[in-house]
Amino acid sequence: MTERVVLAYSGGLDTSVAIGWIGEATGAEVVAVAVDVGQGGESLETIRQRALDCGAVEAYVADARDEFAEQYCMPALKANGLYMGHYPLVSALSRPVIVRHLVAAAKQFGATTVAHGCTGKGNDQVRFEVGIQTLGPDLTCLAPVRDLALTREKAIDYAEANSLPIVTTKKNPYSIDQNVWGRAVETGYLEDIWNAPTKDVYEYTATPEFPPAPDEVIIGFERGIPTTLDGRALSPLAIIEELNRRAGAQGIGRIDVVEDRLVGIKSREIYEAPGAMTLMTAHKHLEDITLEREQARFKRTVDQRWTELVYDGQWFSPLKTSLDAFVDETQKHVNGEIRLSLHAGQAIVNGRRSETSLYDFNLATYDEGDSFDQSSARGFIDIYGLSSKVASERSMRLGEVQSTDDVAKLG
């Protein structure tokens, strides 16, 4: 039986050419796998037919938009997943869901190798291959661009020589990856980090300098998951899509960052994530009133580590699974509604309400009805500062400091 290779197929030039290129280089038959994670563009049927026309022996297509929103974007929301405090894991989140379908297709069609279109200097090669090795330990991985020297110039020449049904225009100045959680843009003149992005970089967001009237939205959450928008029950996918439109119209979610890639390179990236950033703003403010202080402090550490693992391609790792359990436990009281004003590039929270809130009006108020016993504060402060006081007295006794000014310098 002829060996088979499963190829992560986008429908574009490089992966269309890779079908024949892999066949010629390895002698294997190619099964194309296309996964819709909300990237827009052509229909899955159009992409499926193109794969077959380009020489694939089988074409596996999957509408994974709801799966992606519910099983990947929502965990990232609960973990406040922002790499380096900026990047909402747009591409990093989509890779594991694509990997799941690649491995499923390999089993279905009897393939022994899984191929992807990543280069040798990016993060995605790691995300794909670590995920494939974890879910399919018996599978091998192939990267035509990296392993078979498939350059874009060779791809264009190959497509034209073989009359492939694919447009072979000059390269877009940008490398773009997008899905329902956001859009990532890099390369071209953006590689000079002094250059400001121009208008043609953006697609999900309008220019915030000339916004429409403010748009007020109320997002309802249950256990950290958004369930309603302005009182309407909607799926996570529908909520993300509507906020992409509404927040995007206000220019919300534009991010310009130089990030630390896993492979050791610093890379300038432009992101658009209007829905994701609006939801993260709302979720964080709801956590602020529903998580106990020490729990919230520790969760920030867990959130950061969770985000780093996902960025580094460790979605299926044991540590990520353990951190998921902690994050999920913290979300049991993250219920309620957050009201935001969307305007001129900002999503500003201006209202919060929750039946599971830890905010106590009578404790917080300075007006009549205050239930906080202020007489307890003096003793609390004495005990709270006791260890520092004792250490300071020792320093003075040993002559390490001569005055209170010197003590302050020690701090």
- Residue ranges of the annotated binding site for L-citrulline are 87, 123, 127, 175, 259, 271
Residue 14 falls in the annotated catalytic set:
yes
* Three-state secondary structure of the chain: CCCEEEEECCCCHHHHHHHHHHHHHHCCEEEEEEEECCCCCCCHHHHHHHHHHCCCCEEEEEECHHHHHHHHHHHHHHCCCCECCCECCHHHHHHHHHHHHHHHHHHHHCCCEEECCCCCCCCHHHHHHHHHHHHCCCCEEECHHHHCCCCHHHHHHHHHHCCCCCCCCCCCCCEEEEECCEEEEECHHHHCCCCCCCHHHCCCCCCCCCCCCCEEEEEEEECCEEEEECCEECCHHHHHHHHHHHHHHCCCCEEEEEEECCCCCEEEEEEECHHHHHHHHHHHHHHHHHCCHHHHHHHHHHHHHHHHHHHCCCCCCHHHHHHHHHHHHHHHHCCEEEEEEEECCEEEEEEEECCCCCCCHHHHCCCCCCCCCHHHHHHHHHHHCHHHHHHHHHHHHCCCCCCHHHHHHHC
Point out the annotated binding site for L-aspartate: 119, 123-124
Point out the annotated binding site: 8-16, 87, 117, 119, 123-124, 127, 175, 259, 271
Residue 95 falls in the annotated catalytic set:
yes
Please say whether the dihedral angle defined by the alpha carbons of residues 34, 35, 40 and 44, taken in this order, is positive or negative: positive
Residue 175 falls in the annotated catalytic set:
yes
CA-closest candidate to residue 346, choices 257, 270, 254: 254
Catalytic residue among 14, 36, 303, 312: 14
φ, ψ of residue 120 in degrees (nearest 5): -90, 5
81, two tokens? 């997943």
φ, ψ of residue 324 in degrees (nearest 5): -55, -45
Catalytic residue among 66, 175, 223, 341: 175
Residue 360 falls in the annotated catalytic set:
no
Catalytic residue among 65, 94, 100, 124: 124
Catalytic residue among 95, 183, 246, 268: 95
Point out the annotated binding site for ATP: 8-16, 117
Which positions are annotated as active-site residues? 14, 95, 124, 175
